[in-house]
């Protein structure tokens, strides 16, 4: 009887991890909703000539409707209607709203059918914990993840809608918090972008210290701080292009030499040494140094 062939396990160098086919556009909040006139643009040459939301529309042309998900907002109906009007003014032919307000809706096949026909989704701002609490583990999350992984499906989000894209996800902590251990609360986000923590309104609200605490707790995670009216277009799960007016701050702790956050008591200041920080302006490109997930 012939013996079965033994297949040697692939080494990490030989194994390859497929990249997601979709596009992510997280936005730092307070994105500009109207184009500037030529006279206004000439007075302020630092302002981006094209709206961030125009990029969302352009990426989706011919690929299906934009589905706005205003779940994070306390005024969901108003937020949904606002983005319908904005996207239509920017040339989107078909915009729909999926106003999910409980987990039963997030598992409703009739609502899911809207997502199956969409070219992409737009998460509005509000409270990111509402997004994870109401959508986490539901059919809505699963369908969006599957389509983003295997198709050229677009996921955009602003403020809370951007923060919820990542894993881990910040959901509580004052703007001036972060210096003391346990001031920042994190949970699992919607997991479209693994091992990256997104924070928004980053420069305006002085959030660099709270990002440093997240990186100190797990230096394998990359911090991505987005300023207002600034975003990134992410392809292949890691290739990043900066768009908008402001700055994107990348906080990389992979090569940090030491931290004592595991030793100090809650409420005490912590130390982390040798963080790498990159500050990227409009048009810059960057490859996120995230570790590919290999499952054997």
Supply the pLDDT for residue 14: 40
201 has catalytic annotation: yes
First to last CA, the chain: 29
| Domain limits, the chain | 23-33+47-285
pLDDT per residue, tens digit, the chain (296 aa), is 444 433 334 444 444 567 999 999 999 999 999 887 655 555 667 788 889 999 999 999 889 999 999 999 999 999 999 999 999 999 999 999 999 999 999 999 999 999 999 999 999 999 999 999 999 999 999 999 999 999 999 999 999 999 999 999 999 877 777 889 999 999 999 999 999 999 999 999 999 999 999 999 999 999 999 999 999 999 999 999 999 999 999 999 999 999 999 999 999 999 999 999 999 999 999 999 987 665 44
Supply the pLDDT for residue 34: 86
Supply the pLDDT for residue 193: 94
Supply the pLDDT for residue 42: 56
CATH (one of 3.40.50.720, 3.40.50.300, 3.40.190.10, 3.40.50.880) for 23-33+47-285? 3.40.50.880
φ/ψ of residue 145, rounded to 5: -60, -45
Q: Which candidate in 73, 201, 227, 241 is catalytic?
A: 201
Residue 166 vs residues 42, 146, 261: alpha-carbon distances, Å: 37, 16, 22
Q: Which candidate in 159, 166, 227, 241 is catalytic?
A: 159
228 has catalytic annotation: yes
DSSP per-residue codes, the chain = -PPPPPPPPPPTTT---PPPSSEEEEE-S----SPPPHHHHHH-TTS-SS-HHHHHHHHHTTS--EEEE-TT-TTHHHHHHHHHHHHHHTT-S-EEE----SHHHHT-HHHHHHHHH-SEEEE-SS-HHHHHHHHTTSHHHHHHHHHHHHS--EEEEETHHHHTTEESEEEE--TT--SBTT-SEEE----SEETEEEEESTTTTT-HHHHHHHHHH-TTSEEEEE-TTEEEEEETTTEEEEEESS-EEEEE-TT--EE-TTTSPTTSB--EE--EEEEE-TT-EEE--PPPP---
Q: Which candidate in 73, 166, 227, 228 is catalytic?
A: 228
| C-beta of residue 148 within 8 angstroms of C-beta of residue 63 | no
Query: Is the four-CA dihedral 85, 49, 240, 178 of positive or negative sign?
Result: negative
159 has catalytic annotation: yes
Distance between CA 178 and CA 210 in Å, rounded?
4
Supply the pLDDT for residue 173: 77
Distance between CA 87 and CA 56 in Å, rounded?
9
């Amino acid at each position: 009887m012939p013996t079965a062939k033994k297949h040697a396990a692939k080494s990490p160098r030989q194994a390859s991890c497929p990249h997601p086919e979709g596009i992510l556009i997280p936005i730092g909040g307070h994105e500009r909703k109207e184009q500037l006139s030529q006279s206004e643009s000439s007075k302020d040459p630092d302002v981006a000539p094209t709206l961030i939301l125009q990029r969302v529309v352009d990426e989706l042309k011919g690929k299906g409707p934009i589905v706005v998900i205003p779940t994070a907002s306390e005024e969901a109906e108003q937020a949904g209607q606002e983005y319908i009007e904005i996207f239509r003014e920017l040339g989107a032919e078909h915009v729909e709203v999926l106003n999910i307000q409980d987990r039963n809706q997030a598992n409703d096949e009739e609502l899911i059918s809207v997502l199956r026909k969409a070219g992409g989704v737009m998460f509005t701002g509000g409270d990111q914990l509402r997004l994870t609490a109401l959508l986490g583990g539901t059919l809505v999350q699963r369908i969006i993840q599957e389509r983003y992984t295997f198709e050229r499906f677009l996921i955009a989000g602003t403020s809370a809608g951007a923060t919820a894209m990542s894993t881990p996800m910040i959901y509580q902590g004052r703007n001036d918090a972060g210096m003391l251990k346990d001031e920042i609360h994190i949970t699992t986000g919607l997991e479209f972008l693994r091992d990256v923590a997104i924070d928004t309104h980053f420069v305006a609200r002085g959030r660099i210290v709270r990002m440093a605490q997240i990186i100190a707790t797990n230096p394998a995670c990359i911090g991505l701080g987005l300023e207002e009216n600034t975003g990134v277009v992410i392809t292949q799960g890691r290739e990043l292009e900066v768009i908008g007016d402001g700055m994107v701050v990348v906080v990389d702790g992979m090569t940090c030499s030491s931290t004592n956050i595991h030793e100090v008591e809650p409420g005490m200041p912590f130390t982390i040494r040798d963080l790498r920080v990159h500050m990227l302006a409009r048009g810059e490109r960057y490859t996120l140094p995230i570790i590919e997930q290999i499952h054997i």
